[in-house]
């Protein structure tokens, strides 16, 4: 598969499409060794359906191995018994320039995840702010270029957007979600590189769709089929894009833009409404020598 990807990338570059550059990333992940679906807080969760924890771990391990193989740094937080959704580390915080806005979860079943992630960062010397209002980390905060796209409508309180803007020091653009299947922003939109995104328009209000068209006129627009398989719950390093292998339209669109899509199978974790991005919290450390 890697040889095919390299050949496809060479052809894309030769064909005049943009050459893409990997930017090494720093990720935090959490093993799904306690994963199960024992409650329902989104339309994907059906406790009556059986889950296979061993399969969830195997699928997650492949995702982690892919990151390591691509040259990214992956750290781990210890999973806590009784917190089956802690595997979705993206929800645990938002990290920009080494500053950590800790998550504050809406549903009681996930409340204890916030302090667990905050403690991990504090123990390593990060500046951490405990959110005043409900915010579910990178589930609803996506950093692109010099701004932060912020979701609301189902989980994150829009009042937290102003808090994030003040603390993280980046302008925040509010986007309102309307389809309960796409309850977090990272299920309906993915950041590809700087000012490039892909998204599913029907997940947003008309006003938010207009905002996205204005800010990102060249965005990749996902189909209903893409969105339904969580194709937008993707992780990009500027060149490679890891996303569900069933999102074939998005995969073709990414190739056409010079990206190298890598299909992954996280079908077991999808039973709880999560995929690649949900399992991946990006730690954006402060760059040495950057202006204060």
Looking at residue 66, which CATH number applies to its domain?
Answer: 3.75.10.10
196 occurs within a structural domain? yes
7 occurs within a structural domain? no
291 occurs within a structural domain? no
Q: How many CB atoms lie within 10 A of CB 203?
A: 26
Chain centroid, CA 233 distance in Å: 6
37 occurs within a structural domain? yes
Q: Which two tokens stand for residue 121?
A: 């960062």
Q: What are the residues whose beta carbons fall under 8 Å from the beta carbon of 165, sequence distance 6 or more?
A: 148, 171, 172
**What is the rounded distance in angstroms from the CA atom of residue 45 to the CA atom of residue 136?**
18
205 occurs within a structural domain? yes
246 occurs within a structural domain? yes
135 occurs within a structural domain? yes
Q: How many domains does the chain have?
A: 1
| pLDDT per residue of the chain (292 residues) written in tens, 0 to 9 | 333 444 344 334 445 567 899 999 999 999 999 999 999 999 999 999 999 999 999 999 999 999 999 999 999 999 999 999 999 999 999 999 999 999 999 999 999 999 999 999 999 999 999 989 999 999 999 999 899 999 999 999 999 999 999 999 999 999 999 999 999 999 999 999 999 999 999 999 999 999 999 999 999 999 999 999 999 999 999 999 999 999 999 999 999 999 999 999 999 999 999 999 999 999 999 854 444 3
How does DSSP classify residue 255?
Answer: H
| DSSP β-bridge partners for residue 27 | 74, 282
Which of 240, 227, 226 lies closest to 63, judged by CA? Answer: 240
Domain that holds residue 99: 24-282
**What is the rounded distance in angstroms from the CA atom of residue 149 to the CA atom of residue 278?**
16
Which of the residues are catalytic? Answer: 184, 278
98 occurs within a structural domain? yes
Q: How many CB atoms lie within 10 A of CB 75?
A: 13
């Amino acid at each position: 598969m890697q040889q095919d990807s390299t050949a496809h990338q060479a052809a894309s570059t030769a064909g005049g499409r943009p050459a893409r550059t990997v930017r090494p990333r720093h990720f935090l992940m959490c093993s799904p060794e306690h994963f199960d679906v024992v409650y329902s807080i989104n339309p994907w969760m059906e406790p009556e359906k059986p889950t296979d924890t061993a399969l969830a771990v195997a699928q997650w391990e492949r995702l982690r191995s892919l990151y390591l193989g691509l040259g990214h740094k992956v750290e781990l937080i210890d999973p806590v018994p009784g917190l089956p959704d802690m595997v979705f580390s993206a929800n645990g915080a938002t990290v920009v320039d080494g500053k950590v806005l800790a998550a504050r979860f809406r549903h009681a079943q996930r409340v204890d995840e916030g302090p667990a992630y905050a403690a991990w960062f504090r123990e390593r010397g990060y500046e951490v702010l405990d959110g005043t209002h409900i915010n579910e980390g990178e589930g609803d905060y996506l950093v692109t270029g010099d701004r932060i796209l912020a979701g609301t409508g189902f989980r994150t309180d829009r009042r937290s957007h102003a808090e994030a803007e003040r603390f993280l020091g980046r302008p925040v653009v509010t986007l309102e979600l309307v389809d309960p299947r796409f309850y977090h922003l990272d299920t309906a939109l993915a950041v590809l590189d700087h000012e490039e995104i892909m998204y599913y328009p029907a997940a947003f209000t008309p006003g938010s769709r207009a905002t996205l068209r204005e800010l990102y006129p060249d965005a990749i627009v996902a189909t209903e089929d893409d969105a339904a398989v969580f194709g937008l719950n993707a992780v990009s390093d500027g060149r490679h894009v890891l996303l569900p292998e069933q999102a074939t339209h998005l995969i073709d669109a990414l190739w056409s833009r010079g990206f190298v899509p890598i299909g992954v199978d996280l079908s077991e974790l999808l039973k709880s409404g999560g995929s690649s991005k949900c399992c991946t919290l990006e730690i954006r450390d402060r760059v040495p020598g950057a202006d204060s």
